[in-house]
Structure 1
């Protein structure tokens, strides 16, 4: 998400989004499934307005909080599509709470001014954030898969509304597409670093900073996971652990480094 400085319209829309998300999160036990979906849809639409309004700002900004807000919106988008295919899919209240928190974070931490050395920089950032969203959706499905498997072993009702094998297929579809987008993001950073970010004085290739190192480590982890699944049939706990590890490294790559700079060190480069 690219945000201007916190304007009154941004603040009003963000608060409205948080309120729309809060209703299904707070009343999950008492609300019917259609009502919960309606409130989530309202929050999702208003959230999209916040993102769209940010694109119109004269001084666009980018940072860890806007990135998390966009990631949450993408996860909610994928959940909305899946909920039509699997109406009993759970975790509505958790996703609503996540969306409500994520949309308010940029008000406190709007990030740094985005000085685009190239008109392709927004596309490069969009690819990276899209990969974040897909891996976040994969983590969500992996958690549902693990919970369902545990409840089956205990002879309890899994209550996911989705067969276990279907959850597994969905998880790895998200991982595969996310891996493709992450690969495209890293390749663009390698071949077009100076075009995207301006002269760095280090020549072509990556800048070997915190973000790059953790991004490559996450890429390698996901590559091992997909290779292990294709060649050795990895599934269950081993596959989920690799997914969690790769997602954690990816989170540290951009969001983690910017969080340290913006919140802990109080710098907005």
Structure 2
């Protein structure tokens, strides 16, 4: 089957799963959540085929902007579905992730090639893989923080409505945020350490901003975890620091690719 058709099938399955998840949340049924997740697994299988075929070629590995974006969304979706399988109430995040994944997989398939192929050794592959998985988990944390902020505000205003009335209790949502942050920080630590080990010069001109912003993100997330357990930081403080750390990480991960590949076309 041609790659664009597989990408289209993945996008359609993502959108169907999104609609079914909306119905499942409206019915407030735990069993109703299984079907959209099952459909999403099929979507992710098609997504994985698209990602593998577009990234891995005979010339080497293509890690252009659109290709990496699709790969990251695949990793985020897998992390979210795994968390759901472990009985974590993250079903609400699917309403944000699946439509964006549908767009990402289509653009990856139909968009232009923005970077030349490169050959990565085993060490660099470990670094790249750990970076993508860390980014995926911390993306979940950022989305969770956004949902938590809306839920907290509406509860304080005593006007809960919309999706907020379908969410788990605020304390459960907050606990899930810190679980995601713990896992994300551990993975980001692995990514940073493997970077220092396997990348020739992390402070070279084309890498220094990535390195600095990634360390800033790591320090922000780590400070939040320390503040939560030592000083009792919660709620809006947790939301603000999570989003600030994610912004730094997003600029490190995609900022240079956006400028060099899409704007300067280098």
Query: How does the TM-score come out when normalised to structure 2?
Result: 0.82
Contact 2:11 2:103 in 1 (8 A): yes
Q: Deviations over 1:219-263 (max 9, x none)?
A: 222222222222211111111111101101111112111011111
- The equivalent of 1:14 in structure 2 is 7
Contact 2:54 2:67 in 1 (8 A): no
Q: Does 1:61 align with 2:62?
A: yes
| Structural mapping, 1:134-149, within 5 Å | 134-149=137-152
- The equivalent of 1:222 in structure 2 is 221
Deviation at 1:74, TM superposition (A): 2.2
Q: Deviations over 1:1-59 (max 9, x none)?
A: xxxxxxx8332322221122233446776688555334323212211222343465213
Contact 2:11 2:102 in 1 (8 A): yes
- The equivalent of 2:73 in structure 1 is 72
CA 91–218 in structure 1, closer or farther in 2 if over 3 Å, else same: closer
- The equivalent of 2:49 in structure 1 is 49
Deviation at 1:91, TM superposition (A): 4.5
Contact 1:221 1:245 in 2 (8 A): yes
| Structural mapping, 1:94-133, within 5 Å | 94-107=96-109, 108-133=111-136
Q: Distance in 1 between matches of 2:189 and 2:202?
A: 15
Kindly report structure 1 stretches of 4+ aligned residues shifted beyond 6 Å.
none
Q: Deviations over 1:75-105 (max 9, x none)?
A: 2223323445367932443322111011123
Deviation at 1:218, TM superposition (A): 1.4
Q: Which runs of 5+ in 2 are unaligned?
A: none
Contact 1:88 1:162 in 2 (8 A): no
CA 89–188 in structure 1, closer or farther in 2 if over 3 Å, else same: closer
| Structural mapping, 1:18-33, within 5 Å | 18-25=11-18, 33=32
CA 11–112 in structure 1, closer or farther in 2 if over 3 Å, else same: same
- The equivalent of 1:240 in structure 2 is 239
Greater alpha carbon shift after TM alignment, 30-39 vs 222-231: 30-39
CA 205–82 in structure 1, closer or farther in 2 if over 3 Å, else same: closer
Contact 1:86 1:162 in 2 (8 A): no
Contact 2:66 2:107 in 1 (8 A): yes
Q: Which runs of 5+ in 1 are unaligned?
A: 1-7, 195-203
Query: How does the TM-score come out when normalised to structure 1?
Result: 0.81
Secondary structure of the corresponding residue to residue 105 of structure 2: helix
Greater helix share, 1 or 2?
2
Deviation at 1:214, TM superposition (A): 1.6
Q: Distance in 1 between matches of 2:89 and 2:223?
A: 33
- The equivalent of 1:186 in structure 2 is 192
Q: Does 1:81 align with 2:82?
A: yes
CA 69–89 in structure 1, closer or farther in 2 if over 3 Å, else same: same
Contact 2:62 2:117 in 1 (8 A): yes
Q: Does 1:206 align with 2:203?
A: yes
